[in-house]
Amino acid sequence: MFTSSPAANDFAHPIWVKSNTQRTKLLIKVLNQLYGSSSKSILDVGAGDFSIAEAICKLGHNVLALEPRAKEANLPASNFRTYKSDVDSYLSNAGENIRFDIVMMLGLLYHLERPQETLRRVSAISDSVVIIDSVVLDHDGDAIVYLEEDREIAGHSVNGLGCRPSFKWLINKMRANGFEYYYDLSGHLKDIRSDGLSTGHLYNWKCERTCGWRRNEMQLRKFIVFSRAQINI
**Interface with ligand SAM (CB under 6 A):** 9, 20, 45-48, 52, 66-69, 86-87, 106-108, 111-112, 155, 157-158
Our CB check for ligand SAM shows the closer of 175 and 190 to be 190
The Cβ of residue 132 has, within 10 Å, a number of other Cβ atoms equal to: 25
Q: How far is the CB of 230 from ligand SAM (least distance, A)?
A: 27
Contacts of 185 (CB under 8 A, 6+ apart): 26, 30, 223, 224, 225, 233
Our CB check for ligand SAM shows the closer of 11 and 181 to be 11
Pure H helices in the chain = 14-35, 51-57, 87-93, 115-124, 167-176
- Specify whether the CB–CB gap between 226 and 133 falls below 8 A: no
Our CB check for ligand SAM shows the closer of 44 and 138 to be 44
- Specify whether the CB–CB gap between 43 and 102 falls below 8 A: yes
- Specify whether the CB–CB gap between 146 and 202 falls below 8 A: no
Our CB check for ligand SAM shows the closer of 117 and 208 to be 117
What string of DSSP letters covers 146-183? Answer: EEE--TTSTTS-SSSEEEEEBHHHHHHHHHHTT--EEE
Our CB check for ligand SAM shows the closer of 7 and 180 to be 7
Q: How far is the CB of 120 from ligand SAM (least distance, A)?
A: 15
Our CB check for ligand SAM shows the closer of 8 and 137 to be 8
Q: How far is the CB of 180 from ligand SAM (least distance, A)?
A: 25
Q: How far is the CB of 78 from ligand SAM (least distance, A)?
A: 23
Our CB check for ligand SAM shows the closer of 120 and 142 to be 120
- Specify whether the CB–CB gap between 67 and 90 falls below 8 A: no
Question: φ and ψ at 82, to 5 degrees?
Answer: -120, 155
Q: How far is the CB of 114 from ligand SAM (least distance, A)?
A: 9
Region of 93 on the Ramachandran plot (φ > 0 left; ψ -120 to 50 alpha; else beta): alpha
Cα torsion through 35, 39, 40, 43, rounded to 10: 120
Q: How far is the CB of 106 from ligand SAM (least distance, A)?
A: 3
Q: How far is the CB of 117 from ligand SAM (least distance, A)?
A: 12
